Structure 1
Amino acid sequence: MAPRILVAFDESSQATAALHHALSTYPDAEIHVLHVSDPREWSGTEGMDGFYSDDAYKISQESAERLLEEAIDIAAEYDADVTTSTTIGKASSSIVRYAEENDVDHVVLGSHGRRGLSRFLLGSVAERVSRRSPGSVTIIREPEAKKVA
């Protein structure tokens, strides 16, 4: 049976690197791509001052759909199919819950997520997931930019 790999995916370059890593390292795996929308971030979204929760939800879902389409396009570069899913909640607990509920063998995620103060704290989501995941976890750091001599 092929291993089941979960990739946490957001708009960060680390998440994109994590997806590339999973697809290239586990070519025969069943890859799941999960995007978590955290309502606590909606109020910090540009242009969202004075929003209604229904509007924030709609915008977050549209953003998630675009991101998951990007993940599907990346998988196509590897001639791979991925299962995509989105959920709403706190990122770390949502990732762990998805892994538990879907018998995930391995989680791959970026070392730092999208935005906000938490991205500066050793990737607090990555740290929490690595402690609580039911299976092994690979944390991908963003590739360093090539140095110009």
Structure 2
Amino acid sequence: MSGMSSRVLVAFDESTQANFALRYALSTYPDAEIHVLYVNDLAEQYGTNDRDGEGDLYDFPSEELYERSRTDAEELLERAAEIARDFETEIQTERIDGEVTSTIVTYAEEHDIDHIILGSHGRNGLARYLLGSVAESVARRAHVPVTIIRDEDFPQESER
């Protein structure tokens, strides 16, 4: 191990870009301690996000949906661990319920993270704008460097 072992945080979700971001982190920082964080923002997923004071932000649609989202998150993080094993690396995985941007920024501060890597979501239209803004706002608010991975950063992976 090199003397400077840094801590790298990868924000992970079901997107292709998140997979790229994790592979990028594992190949670029082989000596780093890699943290993989899945933020479970149910409010965003299920559109219960009425911030007009009507109802609690985490007034989830149902226990069942919440349980399913937890299971999905566990499976995703297990997949992340498998990717890391391909690189012969152990990673630390964590799932946190909350609003995505602030959860990522807070986690980075609390865990002494040196570098954040996340995927931009290459979706079309409004969805792309809204989801892409997560990467931008993390980059604005984080106190450490942020690398945003786009599909174009891996031209050999995408078929155009």
> Normalization by structure 2: what TM-score?
0.80
For 2:80 and 2:20, the matched residues in 1 are separated by 11
Note the C-alpha offset of 1:117: 4.1
Note the C-alpha offset of 1:75: 0.2
Change in CA separation of 1:99 and 1:21 when aligned onto 2, cut-off 3 Å: same
Partner of 2:159: 146
- Answer whether contact 1:37 1:64 (CA < 8 A) is retained: yes
- Answer whether contact 1:11 1:114 (CA < 8 A) is retained: no
1:83 aligns to 2:92 (yes or no): yes
Partner of 2:18: 15
Partner of 2:67: 58
Q: Of the candidates 27, 31, 44, which is equivalent to residue 28 of structure 1?
A: 31
Partner of 2:53: none
For 2:101 and 2:131, the matched residues in 1 are separated by 14
* Residue-pair matches, total: 141
Provide the secondary structure at the position in 2 that maps to 1:123. helix
Partner of 1:48: none
RMSD: 2.2
Q: Percent identity?
A: 55
Which amino acid in the other structure matches residue 76 of structure 2? L
Per-residue Cα deviation, 1:48-76 (whole angstroms, up to 9, x for no partner): xxx85211210110000000000000000
Which amino acid in the other structure matches residue 159 of structure 2? K
For 2:127 and 2:96, the matched residues in 1 are separated by 20
Structure 2's unaligned 5+ residue stretches are 48-59
For 1:116 and 1:86, the matched residues in 2 are separated by 28
Change in CA separation of 1:9 and 1:87 when aligned onto 2, cut-off 3 Å: same
Note the C-alpha offset of 1:114: 8.3
> Normalization by structure 1: what TM-score?
0.86
Change in CA separation of 1:52 and 1:121 when aligned onto 2, cut-off 3 Å: closer
Structure with greater Cα Rg:
2
- Answer whether contact 2:46 2:61 (CA < 8 A) is retained: no
For 2:115 and 2:43, the matched residues in 1 are separated by 27
User: Which residues of 2 match residues 77-116 of structure 1 at below 5 A?
Assistant: 77-112=86-121
Structure 1's unaligned 5+ residue stretches are 45-50
